[in-house]
A and B are shown apart, each in its own frame.
Chain A
Amino acid sequence: MRFPTLPTWFAKKLSVASPVKVKDRSQLRVGIPKVLNIWTTAQFWVGFLKALGVSSENIIFSSDTSEEQGREFGKGRGTVDCCYPVKCISGHYGELIFGQKKKINVLFSPMIHTLPSLLHGHVVDTITCTRVMAGPESIKAGFMKERDIFTENGIVYASPFVSLGDRHMVVQQMHDSLKDVFDLDLEETNLAVQAGFEALDAFTAKARQQSRDILNWCAQNQKPCILVLARPYHMDTGIGHEIEAELQAHGFPILWLQYLPGDGDLMNWLFEEDMRSGRIKSPFDISDVWTSSYSSNTNEIMWGAKFASRCPWITCVIRLSSYECGMDQPTYTPTQKIVEASRTLFFKFGDLDSTKPAGSIKIRVETVVHYMAKYSQEIMRSKLARLSPQCPLGPLQAPASSLPESEVPAGLHADNPPAVSAAS
């Protein structure tokens, strides 16, 4: 069984459009569920579709996840119980199908197999979680089990299987699965894929530069910041529950591991000792802490933890993790140990589900703020002491201790970390 293509849509277009603009796709409305790894690859899809002639206003992303979205649009469509980032996708599909004033023509939900990653070439692979990859198939079933809801609503369901981390594969994969949907030839697919990667690379580079600017500011002002160690979709306010925003409201700049700067000067400075001792071959090598480096987001979480444990101004890491996440499960202890090895504060907000646990988040946030206020200066000092004075972020002044000497935890001078982690 194949999904219906767009013969009706194109047939309609052909009768009204001028014969030269056979492939005018400007009126085509494409809905993309804003879920899972779309959070770090959205620019690729937008760039790709725009290059095909789909206009920006006709590329529609579903809203952030919410319980209301699930109730209104996803009810009865779930086919299996699993982690919330996947379970909630039914609501996104439903919103795109039933919740648009102007109907979409295509529901575009890629099955992303591998991801572009800073660690590419330094790890075994950059595969996505099985559920991330296969989620669209499982969610689709909920809209097809009794009747074909897509066809009933005049929507073409398009779900290309794409290895975004292996760029040489992408043109063929996109062409194979989308040629009928968008009436594509290989050459225009090639150009659109290139445009997609250009857009993605430009955005990622800009976001990394912004993270570097934050670190720069922290270095110059000797101020601490927080690193969020999470999967990309924890940026979704309905999945990550805006925990980092609450911390930001207390004046702490926030960095997401997905956009940490990977510039050579900074990397070599942070990982100088590890490379000198032969522990790692490159700053992006994580084999010292994680040997089964297949999974892209897991690899990056490990690398982010290493980055945080070395970077002086990241004095606190918050780890977000969804309830029943099988990929995170084996990483809980290693990440905590990596971070805490340098006495960096580590707080885990685990088992996140559909409902925001507002009360407990509030208490935890207060705890984080308290510890950061109390220990950040010492943490920065002790981490700086382990790095060469040639900081690429400019000449530094050692941060003044905010604590009387008697209150400085022994661990910040010696090798035993203070017990300030608050993993839940």
Chain B
Amino acid sequence: MAQLATIAPYTAYKPRPFTRDQRGKTTILYGGLTWKHERLMQGALHNLKYNAEPLPNIARDDLDAGKELIDTGACCPTIFTTGSLVNFLKKEVAAHGKDQVNDKFIYLTAGACGPCRFGQYHESYSMALDGLGLRDFRLFLLAQDELDQGPANGGGLEINMPMSLGLIWSILCGDLLVDLEYMTRPYEVNPGQTDAVLKDSVEYMYEVFLHRPDRGKKYGTLAWHLMSNYFTKALREVRKKWDAIEVDHLRVKAKVKVTGEFWLQTHEGDGNYNIKRWLEQEQSEVVPPPVAVWLHYLLHPEIRKLEHRNSKSKHPQMQQMALQALEKIYRGTYNRFRKALANLPNELPDQVELKQLAEPFYHFELRGGEGHMLIGKALHAYHHKKAHMICELSPYSCMPNTMSIGSMANVLGKYPDLLYAPIEVKGDAEVHALSRCQMILTEAKKRAQAEFEDVMKKTGLTVDAIRKYEARHPEVKRATYKVPHLGYAGMAANYITHLARCGVGNA
């Protein structure tokens, strides 16, 4: 056959291999969570002898850098994360040249099955790489639902049990520290002490992950992670550090549960107008969203049945049972870690309950973003009085979030007293977003105050009597003192009720 004329067809980005022998001189870049999570993940990666570096925290100018290089109309998490990588690479190229950057770094990012752009993030990244003239730069995806993906693309990166478990465990520990942070800082007596102890705890846990013992590559390491007291012991040490923080739980704060799109709700920085810090400055206590809830959602066998619809497994029932066991172990592990921290961090919500709560409003099998969980979480907080208000962070033009926000209209019709602030985040309209939040927050604060006054009246306690009790029982002023949840959203109301039950009024 005669040779036909050919063209150079468009070809999707495919990374060059990253080989085993390049590991020593290559740095893995990653990002997308909080600095606490990222530092612990770094410990887990260093432990496996990878060079690893989180990208600098997202800044406002990452938005412009991202916008410049990808097609218009992207959601802000896509733009921010692309921009962050772009700005990092630009700096490195300026300092060391393209070839060195291509060889020195790889970028590891989470991949997802994607009915939304989350599954297509890397398309934007690769477009940005094209724009930078860095098509030889290597970008790899880490599937979120497989613990052992084997050596990928040349063997330099082995996504095996030790790596996956290290990363998941570091995320869980990161979540627990974040929970401690947010429940303590609004009440700290000595300003800055929480942040200092937090930093110290993160560094301590980094070392813990760095020195994690090697227990093989398969089931030995799985068994060790599940059974060893290595991490619980370390977390008990962390608790001791937090003992030193003195808190004043009589401060009346509106409790604000932050929910929303995964990246946006987790992020702390310019990407979401630093809204968590802003809320704290506005006299509230933030209930931060743990990454662990997302992972729980991903592995819950009942919720995620659909993912196995085309499973070729010869033993589907066995597979289902294994998943059920895995889910129990996962929750059990989280609870074990919580216990080491005096059960202070919040429990993971029951996924089946979230599903049931959301059911009349949003089908649980609707995929994309947080799916039905946004509605489930809002109703969970409402029914269980876990927060005075919900602040839902929604990226402008996010596909799944717009749909669940739309469905929330139905929820609010049924529960008109649910305080709900959907905040659209574009990245560059801070004043507008925060003032919207402020409107609902004002009402939440009123509720917190009313709750406080109501409890004072009911218990007949006075501030003076409480202060005297605190002076005699300094342990109640420790950040690690567990104030039980006694039916109020606010910390102060629960604290007073608890003290009354302890007999403060009779003292």
Q: How far is the CA of A169 from the CA of B308 in the complex (A)?
A: 11
Check B117 against A330 for contact (C-beta < 8 Å): yes
Identify which of B6, B113, B406 contacts A141 (C-beta below 8 A). B406
Q: Which of B9-17, B163-171, B199-207 is found at the contact surface with chain A?
A: B9-17
* Interface residue? A131 (CB, 8 A): yes
Check B5 against A386 for contact (C-beta < 8 Å): yes
Q: For residues 71 through 128 of chain B, which have their beta carbon under 8 Å from a beta carbon of chain A?
A: 71-75, 111, 113-117, 119-120, 122-124, 127
Q: Which of B43-51, B288-296, B364-372, B450-458 is found at the contact surface with chain A?
A: B364-372
Q: For residues 1 through 26 of chain A, which have their beta carbon under 8 Å from a beta carbon of chain B?
A: 1-2
Identify which of A133, A169, A288, A338 contacts B367 (C-beta below 8 A). A133
Supposing A127-B367, A133-B366, A330-B124 touch, asked if A138 and B117 sit within 8 A by C-beta, the answer is: no
Contact with A along B4-40 (1 / 0, CB 8 A): 1111111111100000000000000000000000000
Identify which of A141, A274, A292 contacts B120 (C-beta below 8 A). A292
Identify which of A79, A86, A388 contacts B4 (C-beta below 8 A). A388
Question: B124 — which chain A residues lie within 8 A by C-beta?
Answer: 330
Check A127 against B115 for contact (C-beta < 8 Å): yes
Question: A141 — which chain B residues lie within 8 A by C-beta?
Answer: 361, 406-411, 413
Check B405 against A80 for contact (C-beta < 8 Å): yes
Chain A residue with the shortest CB-CB distance to B307: A125
Q: How far is the CA of A333 from the CA of B10 in the complex (A)?
A: 10
Question: A327 — which chain B residues lie within 8 A by C-beta?
Answer: 116-117, 399
Check B8 against A386 for contact (C-beta < 8 Å): no
Check A163 against B399 for contact (C-beta < 8 Å): no
Check A138 against B114 for contact (C-beta < 8 Å): no
Identify which of B4, B117, B309 contacts A169 (C-beta below 8 A). B309
Question: A111 — which chain B residues lie within 8 A by C-beta?
Answer: 363, 366
Q: For residues 406 through 429 of chain B, which have their beta carbon under 8 Å from a beta carbon of chain A?
A: 406-414
Pair count A-B, CB < 8 A: 194
Identify which of B10, B111, B362 contacts A137 (C-beta below 8 A). B362
Q: Which of A37-45, A59-67, A142-150, A254-262 is found at the contact surface with chain B?
A: A142-150
Supposing A134-B366, A333-B71 touch, asked if A288 and B310 sit within 8 A by C-beta, the answer is: no
Count, chain B residues at interface, CB 8 A: 59
Contact with B along A119-147 (1 / 0, CB 8 A): 00000110111110111011111101110
Nearest first, the 5 A-B pairs at minimum CB distance are: A138-B406, A130-B368, A141-B410, A80-B406, A145-B413
Q: How far is the CA of A144 from the CA of B407 in the complex (A)?
A: 10
Q: For residues 279 through 318 of chain B, which have their beta carbon under 8 Å from a beta carbon of chain A?
A: 306, 309-310
Task: List 15 A–B pairs whose Cβ atoms lie within 8 Å, in order of A's numbering.
Answer: A79-B407, A82-B402, A130-B403, A141-B409, A141-B413, A145-B410, A279-B9, A306-B9, A324-B397, A326-B397, A326-B399, A330-B71, A330-B124, A330-B127, A332-B71
Check A294 against B115 for contact (C-beta < 8 Å): yes
Q: How far is the CA of A137 from the CA of B122 in the complex (A)?
A: 29
Check B306 against A163 for contact (C-beta < 8 Å): yes
Chain B residue with the shortest CB-CB distance to A298: B120
Question: B4 — which chain A residues lie within 8 A by C-beta?
Answer: 273, 385-388
